[in-house]
Each structure stands twice: as structure tokens, then as C-alpha cells.
Amino acid sequence: MADEIPIFPKAGSILINTGSIVNWNRLKRKPNHTPTDELKECISATVGSWLNDLDKTKAQYATDLKCINPTFSSNLSGDDREQLKITVKIFVTQPDPLALEDAIEKVLADLDVTSLETVLLSLSQPDQKSVSMDGIKTLWEVLERMVEKEKILAIGISDLAKDELEQLHTWSTVKPCINHVNLASCCVMPPDLTEYAKEQDIQLLTHSDPKEMFPDKTFQDVLCSTATEKDSEGWSVSWIARYTALVKDRGIIKAKGYLVKAVRDVKKGK
Amino acid sequence: MGLLSEGTPLSWEETKAKADHVREHGITQFINLWKRHKDVKKDCLLWGDEVEYTLVHLDHENEKSSLLLKGDKVLHVLQQQERENPADLKTIWRPEYANYMVEGTPGKPYGGLMAYFNMVEANMRRRRKEVMRLLSEPGETALSVVTFPRLGCPNFSRPEFPPTPTEGASRSLFYPEEVIFPGHPRFKTLTRNIRQRRGEKVAINIPIFKDKNTPSPFQEDLSQYGDSGESQAASLPDHIYLDAMGFGMGCSCLQMTFQACNIDEARHLYDQLAPLCPIIMALSAGSPIYRGFLSDIDCRWFVISNSVDCRTREERGLEPLQKDRFRIHKSRYDTIDSYLGPCNACYNDIDMVYDRDICSRLKAAGVDELLARHVAHLFIRDPISLFSEKIDQNDEEESDHFENIQSTNWQSMRFKPPPPNSDIGWRVEFRPTEVQLTDFENAAYVVFVVLLTRVILSFHLNLVIPISKVDQNMKTAAKRDALRQGKFYFKKDLLTGYSPPKASECICNCPCGNVDISRAVDAEDEYTEMTINEIINGKVSNNL
């Protein structure tokens, strides 16, 4: 496998759009998927199908890859846009404002909409002992600008304890409307958190996303098994965006999908 | 429970004489409703639940408990807010069959956002509190329990009343007249009319649990209760014998109703939930004790079914058909006989009895075959209560005759057309769940079922299996310990968002409107037997 000729040796960035996975039967067969498992399945399938249709000659020189799965459209523009509530959760591992901005713009473009109802931010730095409030604030300012431009209607944060949430709430111009909490880490919500959230009108919603949503190694493994070993070297995930479009009045999920951006320094690879 | 029109009830003979009138206008009313609402496209999800409570008196000193006949008094106060401030209701209260029961629903329906799921338990807690507040005498309380274990035992009520086997609506050896809700004539009228139509008292025989000291055979001497011999003849050995509508309709259940976005979605959800009726019933089982005896069943379903069985001997097949029109296989309280969605016609493998003339009339008005048969099936029944003030109706604006027949077909699922003069759309009612003791559990079942409908629609799941198998499942579900030991027919692969090949063959050859029941599909490879655990939690299998 190591001797295999790489398919996209010059690629320094890859953007994967899974399209709406709501009708993916292969996913429905695995009810106990973790979010990481689900993402792995999705990326693997999208890249796999993209590789099938790929012009291999052109790919040798491509620097920026865009993998989409044409069967499962992620286009949400259309007559019923008004009835949709689009929620996007963006996972980053570094407090890089450009990456976050890039994520939001790419989601808007790929969904073909001008605004998103809710964006939730998850900054997860597993190597750090405590939450970096400075990091969060840097990123929060990006979100606030987006709200000002009416590209996002409401913004929320993830996995903050009461004190951190209070800090963010007090400091921010546009207040967080949601705190997305991992239910596994606290079977019962801490009472100080629920009380504070009630006072400040912050919704406490739960999730089961792991602390490390998608380690770089996992991403590289997926590329390795779908493309080649050389193609998988050096990648690091810039951001992951998971979107859900709910039909407001009917409580039905119209679409759900992922966008993933990864980058690498190609010169290093050689 | 159903329709509470005002007024003066007719006698059974008068009601029977008007049966054709009620049916004819009922169908006209349905056609009008259907025409007006069949093309409505974008109704939103609205849903709600109904919880029935049992008023109980606990005498700790004498270690005695009894059913508290205070429903009318309590309801009068509970309904005050509805009379005084109808715009801002948080809870709504209605009477039920027995005067020890009250039924509560949320004041406004819940909507389409996920946040509503969080409100269910809180509203249920509020309802319970409202009732409890009115039970201020020592020992008084309210429980949400399916059956009161000693219903029908001597002196089971407070105040105590003797049963009247030779007079009154029930003529029961065990169930006094005074237990029936006195505040509206409907319930006594139904009781009397069912008995008179049937030509004899209802007979409910529940298999008894054979415990260590249970005699074999188990047979009570009913003469001790004043039986002249009629009941003894109707009772079966090794069974607990009950003889009144009150034993069935005095049971409590948990029901959910939701509005679909249009008629097609309503029909689709009706079909998808039907196979779940036995499953949810087995999960929620909570009624093993009847008239003080431990039974061999865990669910109330067939007790209620027999308690309102108005079929005559001819209809039951015990005598040849002379005066009656149809041989009818089920009580008017029982499971549904057909799916409503065109792609599920092939799974309608029960010989469903329906009125051919009514079916033709509906089809002539433009109703498709499946829906026409469904309504024609409901309308094989006579009305069993009728009020003099409601005989002559404006069929364009009123639907009491339709509702009369519709609301006295008590089935596992109910398909509900929009009422006239309202914004309400096509609805589906899920009826088999046994009520639970706590608000938490009741809320869990309600939220689970509604959420399940969202999942079925979002992910295009298909749970449909031949309807005869659903009926078999219902029988299995009522048995003792069905939850752990029962095997239920269930669809192997839920993921076909599209009809399986055999079904689509059926459609190609008989497009919607030309359903031929003899082409019921042999779908044996589509379903298999599973335990409740496997159905809910999954089956470990080698091939995915």
C-alpha cells in the first residue's frame, strides 16, 4: 500500500461535503453509532464516491480538493426555506478566527442559503487542562460579526460550566442563547448551571459529541483506506460543521450533513 | 371520552329506528368534511395527550380502599376555569364513564418544535396537582392506574351502593348503577342500549391465574350475588366473570392524538403506528387484577372489547342471519381491520366486513377505495346513543351523526377527519397504551410515540406487516408476562423508504382506487418473530 502512487500528491486543502445523510440506509443500520463513527462513515463514503468519478490525471496537479456526493444534495434554498430551522455546530480545535469564518461561509455557500438560524461553537483543546476563555472570546467575536451581518440569527456555545458561561455572557455583546452540554459528563445538569441558564434565558441542550470529535489520525486513516497511504499523510482537520435542517412546524428532519475542511503542508510531505 | 352532545336520550327502540337516518346523514357529513379538507396541504404538527385518573379513598385505620364516587363534584370545580377563562387554559377536564374517573388533557396542543417535548411531564404534574387539590378529605387521593383491583367486589365504592341485577342500565351482579357518571346521560344510555341491542348482558371472561391454592377448575357460585342462572351460563370455568360495560370503560388509558400535515400523511402515520399498538401495549402493561382476582392477562384490551360488545347472537355467528345484516367478527371496541395508505393495501389480509352500499356511495363522491371501505366498515354499526335534539342536522355545518358512529367505534387507532367550522386538520389517535402510575412514565410514553412518528417521517421508515399479524400480536400482547416472554411479528427491515417489490407489483396492477383484496401479498419473508426486547433494543445478527 505504501508503494501506491498517490492520487492527489499536491493537494494542500480538502473540503468534504457529505450532502444530506438523512436517507443513507447504511447509517440507519447502525443505531449505536457515536457521532465520530457516523462522521467516519460519511467521510469514507463521500470520498470513496468522489474518487470513483475523479479525473485521475487532473487530480495529480490539484491543490484544493472539493469532495461532494452529487446524489445527496445539500441545497436548502427553495420554496420552503422559511419553514426550515437550520442549526449548525462548528467544531474547531484551535482558536483560529479565520478557520471559523471560513467554516461559516462554506456552510452558507454549500447549503445555498443567506442565513443560518443557529450556530453552536465547540472549541475543544484536549491537550489543555482548562477551557481557554481567551480562545473562546476570539472566536465569539467572529460569530458576533456574523450576527451583525445577519448571516446568523442566534449563537451558542458548548460545554461551558456555570462560571465560564457567566464570563462569556457578561463579556459578550451578542449573548449566547444556548449552552450545548455533554450529557455523558453529567447525568444530571448541575443545579447552579440550570439556575443561571434560567435567569439569563439560555437554553441548555444536550449532546453526545465526544471531547475529541475527529482526531487528525482518524481522518488520515479514512483517507488511507479510501485513497492511498501517501494521500493520507500530513492532514490536520481545520474545522467540522454539522448542520441539521428541521421543518419547524412539523418537527421533521429535512436534512442533516457534514462539511469537513482539512489542510496539510505539501512540501513537508515530500 | 367522545361526544357529549346535550340533551334527551332516546330509548333503544327509538335509537334503532333512527339507525339508517344516522348512517345516511353521517356519510353525507363525512363526504362534506372530506371534500372540504382533502386538499389542505400544510397543516403543522399539533399534538396532545389524555390521561385518565381514578379517585380513590384510603382508609388506613381499617386497611380498606375504595373507589371514590366524586367525579361529578370534582369536575364541576375543575371545569370552572374553562367556563370563566377559556382563552388561557393550561388544562382541560372531561368526565369519563365512571363517577370515580376524571380525564385531563393539556389546555392547548403542543407544537412542532422539539422544546414541546419538555413540557409534557410538567403539564401532567400540573393536572395531577389540580385534581389532588380538590381531594381534601382525609384519605382521598387520585391515582393514574389502569384498573382498580377490587372494582366489582362487595362495597368497593364510597359511598357504598348495592348492585341491581334486575334493574338499571347494567343489570350487573357486581356493578351498581350509581358508579356510572351521573352528570350526563350518555354513559348510562350507552350501557343500556348495548345490553338491549345485544339481547343479553355483556359477558367478559378473563382467564384466571392459576396460583398455588387456586381451585381447579375455578368456578364461582354466582347465585351468591343474586344470579338467577343467566350469568352462571355465560361464565366460563377457570375464568373471572364480569358482566358490565363499567368493567371495561371504567379502565384508564393513556392516549395521544396528533395532527398530520395533510390527509396523506395522516393515513401514512395511521398505518405506521398500527403495528406498534401491540408492542406499546405490552410495554406499558399494567392491569392484571380484576374483581379482586389475579388474572392470566396483563392488559385491559380484551376486557374493554367484551364489555361493549353490542353484537347480537346472529352477528356473532351463534345463530343464522335473519334480522341482522352482517356477520361481524369483532366487537366495536377492538383493533383496526385495515390499513389506509394505498401502498399498504396488499397487507390488508383480513376479511373486513363493510357496507357495500355505503362504500359505493363514498366512491361515487370521489373517495378512494381504501378510505371508502374504512368508513363503510365503521358504519356497519348501529348508533348506540342518540339525543332527540340532535336528530335533524345541517349536514354542511354539523357532523354529530358522523361522530356518533365514529366515536363509538373504539379502535386501536382512530383516523379523525377535521371537525366542521374549525382550523383543526386530519388527525390520528393512538389508543392502546396502558396508563402508568407516575407522570414521568406517562410523559415518557407520550413523548416516545410522538418522537417515533417524527423519526418514521424523517427517515422514511416502514413498519407495515400483514394486518392479520398485528391482530395476532395484540392477543399475544395482552397475556401475562408478554413483555418478557411474548413473541411478536415485526418487520425485519425498516429501512425501505420505498415499497417492497411485491407491494409495488400490487400497485402497478391495481392503482389507487382499484384495490382487490384477493391480491393480498404473501409477505412472509418481510417479517419475523421477535421479543419486545429485540424489537426495542435491537437484534444482534450476523448480517447487517
CATH number for the domain harbouring residue A63? 3.20.20
Evaluate whether residue A4 is within a structural domain.
no
Handedness of CA A204, A207, A211, A214 (dihedral sign): negative
Whether the Cβ atoms of residue B429 and residue B413 lie closer than 8 Å to each other: yes
In A, which residues are within 8 Å of B114 by CB distance? 246, 251
Predicted pLDDT at A77: 84
Same domain, yes or no, for B410 and B372?
yes
Residue pair A57/A221 in contact by the 8 Å Cβ criterion: no
Regarding whether B389 and B264 lie in a shared domain, the answer is: yes
Instruction: Give me the domain span that covers residue A70.
Output: 13-264
Determine whether the interchain pair B495/A252 forms a contact, defined as Cβ–Cβ distance below 8 Å: no
Contact A252 B457 (CB under 8 A): yes
Residues in Cβ contact with B382 at an 8 Å cutoff, skipping those fewer than 6 apart: B15, B16, B19, B197, B310
Picking from B456, B491, B495, B539 by the largest number of A CB atoms within 10 A of its own CB, the best residue to mutate is: B495
C-alpha cell at A102: 471560513
Residue B383's region, left for phi above 0, alpha for psi from -120 to 50, else beta, is beta
| Beta-sheet pairing, B47-59 with A252-263 | unpaired
Q: State whether B249 and B304 are in the same domain.
A: yes
B112 to A249: CB separation less than 8 angstroms, yes or no: yes
Domain-located, residue B29: yes
Asked whether the beta carbons of residue B495 and residue A25 sit closer than 8 angstroms, the reply is: yes
Q: Where are the alpha helices (DSSP H) in A69-202?
A: 97-111, 133-148, 162-171, 191-200
Set of cell numbers at residue A136: 473562546
Report the residue of B459, B461, B463, B491 to disrupt the A interface, i.e. the one with the largest count of A CBs within 10 Å: B459
Nearest Cβ partner for B459 among A22, A247, A251 = A22
Distance CA A13, CA A10 (A): 9
Asked whether residue A6 is assigned to any structural domain, the reply reads no
Cα B492 to Cα B478: distance, rounded to the nearest angstrom: 23
Is the CA virtual torsion B480, B486, B489, B490 positive or negative? positive
Does residue B169 lie within any of the structural domains?
Answer: yes
Q: What is the pLDDT of residue A26?
A: 67
Among positive and negative, which fits the CA dihedral B282, B497, B416, B331? Answer: negative
Comparison of pLDDT for A183 and B311, the residue scoring more: B311
The whole-number pLDDT of residue B17 equals: 97
Contact B48, B110 (CB under 8 A): yes
Q: Are residues B258 and B301 in the same domain?
A: yes
Q: Is residue B224 part of a domain?
A: no
Residues B291 and B331 in one domain: yes
pLDDT the model gives residue B510: 33
Measure the CA–CA gap between A141 and A172, rounded to whole angstroms.
8
Of B112, B113, B458, the CB nearest to A22: B458
For residue A145, being part of any structural domain is answered with yes
pLDDT tens, N- to C-terminus, chain B (544 residues): 455 656 799 999 999 999 999 999 999 999 999 999 999 877 789 999 999 999 999 999 999 999 999 999 999 999 998 899 888 899 999 999 999 999 999 999 999 888 899 999 999 999 999 999 999 999 999 999 999 999 999 999 999 999 999 999 999 999 999 999 999 999 999 999 999 999 999 999 999 999 999 999 999 999 999 999 999 999 999 999 999 999 999 999 999 999 999 999 999 999 999 999 999 999 999 999 999 999 999 999 999 999 999 999 999 999 999 999 999 999 999 999 999 999 899 999 999 999 999 999 999 999 999 999 999 999 999 999 999 999 999 999 999 999 999 999 999 999 999 998 888 999 999 999 999 999 999 999 999 999 999 999 998 899 999 999 999 999 999 999 999 999 999 998 887 554 333 333 443 333 333 344 444 556 788 899 999 999 998 877 644 4
The residue in chain A having the minimum alpha-carbon distance to the alpha carbon of residue B544 is A29
CA distances from A66 to A13, A71, A192, A229, A244 (A): 9, 15, 45, 19, 21
Is the domain of B198 the same as that of B91?
yes
Hey, are the CB atoms on B495 and A247 less than 8 Å from each other? no
Work out the minimum CA distance from B260 to partner chain A, whole angstroms: 8
Mean pLDDT (whole number) for A103-115: 95
Distance CA B49, CA B110 (A): 9
Q: What is the pLDDT of residues A72-84, one digit of tens each?
A: 777 888 878 999 9
Side-chain-facing half-sphere of B65: CA atoms under 13 Å? 14
Q: pLDDT tens digits for A222-234? A: 999 999 998 999 9
Counting the structural domains of chain B, the total is: 2
CA dihedral B289, B290, B291, B295 (to 10 degrees): -70
Nearest to A226 by CA among A27, A29, A41, A19: A41
To the nearest whole angstrom, how far is the Cα of B266 from the nearest Cα of chain A?
13
| Of A107-121, A173-187, A204-218, B9-23, the least confident | A173-187
- Any domain includes B483: no
pLDDT of residue A185: 67
**Residue B543: per-residue pLDDT:** 46
Q: Which residue has the cell 389546555?
A: B107
CATH of residue B196 = 3.30.590.50
**Strand intervals (E) in B349-399:** none
Q: Cβ(B199)–Cβ(B178) under 8 Å?
A: no
Place of cell 367505534: B409
Distance between CA atoms of B263 and A147, rounded to whole angstroms?
Answer: 40
Domain total of chain A: 1
* CA atoms of A251 and A85, how far apart (whole Å): 10
Q: Which structural domain, as residue segments, surrounds residue B523?
A: 494-537
The predicted complex's ipTM stands at 0.85
A77 is a domain residue:
yes
Residue A7 included in any domain: no
Closest CA to B487 of B523, B532, B525, B433: B532
Among B42, B114, B459, the residue with its CB nearest the CB of A251 is B114
| B360 belongs to a structural domain | yes
A29 — contact with chain B (CB < 8 Å)?
yes
Determine, for residues B45 and A246 on separate chains, whether the beta-carbon distance falls below 8 Å: no
Dihedral sign for Cα A211, A214, A218, A220, please. negative
B397 burial (CB, 10 Å; 0-12 / 13-18 / 19+) is: exposed
Q: Each residue of A189-222: pLDDT tens digit?
A: 889 999 999 999 999 999 989 988 999 999 999 9
A5, part of any domain = no
Total-model pTM: 0.90
Tell me phi and psi for residue B83, to 5 degrees: -75, -40
Q: What is the DSSP letter of B222?
A: G
What is residue B98's DSSP assignment? B
CB pairs under 8 A between A and B: 43
Kindly state whether residue A8 falls inside one of the protein's structural domains: no
- The residue type found at B314 is E
Q: pLDDT averaged over chain A?
A: 90
Q: Which of B448, B478, B508 is the last residue of a domain?
A: B478
Residue at grid coordinates 381514578: B54
Same domain for B270 and B382?
A: yes
Q: Are residues B322 and B462 in the same domain?
A: yes
Q: Is A142 left (phi over 0), alpha (psi -120 to 50) or beta?
A: alpha
DSSP track, B149-208: TTTTSTT-EES-----TTSTTT--SS--GGGB--SSTHHHHHHHHHHHHHTS---EEEEB
Is A5 within 8 Å of chain B by CB?
no
The answer to whether the bond into B500 is cis (omega within 30° of 0) is: no
Residue B229 within any structural domain of the chain: no
Residue B400 lies in a domain: yes
Does one domain contain both B279 and B348? yes
| Cross-chain residue pair B45–A30, CB shorter than 8 Å | no
The whole-number pLDDT of residue B468 equals 96
Tell me the C-alpha distance between B143 and B132, whole Å: 10
Q: Which residues contact B222 (CB under 8 A, 6 or more apart)?
A: B173, B231, B232, B235, B241
Residue B542 placed within a domain: no
Within 10 A of A111 (CB to CB), how many other CB atoms are there?
26
> Do both B469 and B502 map to the same domain?
no
CA distance B544 to chain A (A): 7
My answer on whether B462 and B423 are in the same domain is yes
What long-range pairs does B187-190 form, CB within 8 A, spacing at least 24? B187/B97, B187/B249, B189/B9, B189/B384, B189/B385, B190/B245, B190/B308, B190/B384, B190/B385, B190/B408
Does the beta-carbon distance from A23 to B460 stay under 8 Å? yes
d(CA B271, CA B263): 12
Is A17 domain-assigned? yes
Residue B23 identity (one-letter amino acid): R
Residues B392 and B521 in one domain: no
Q: Among B478, B503, B524, where does a domain finish?
A: B478
**What end-to-end distance do the CA atoms of chain A give, in Å?**
17
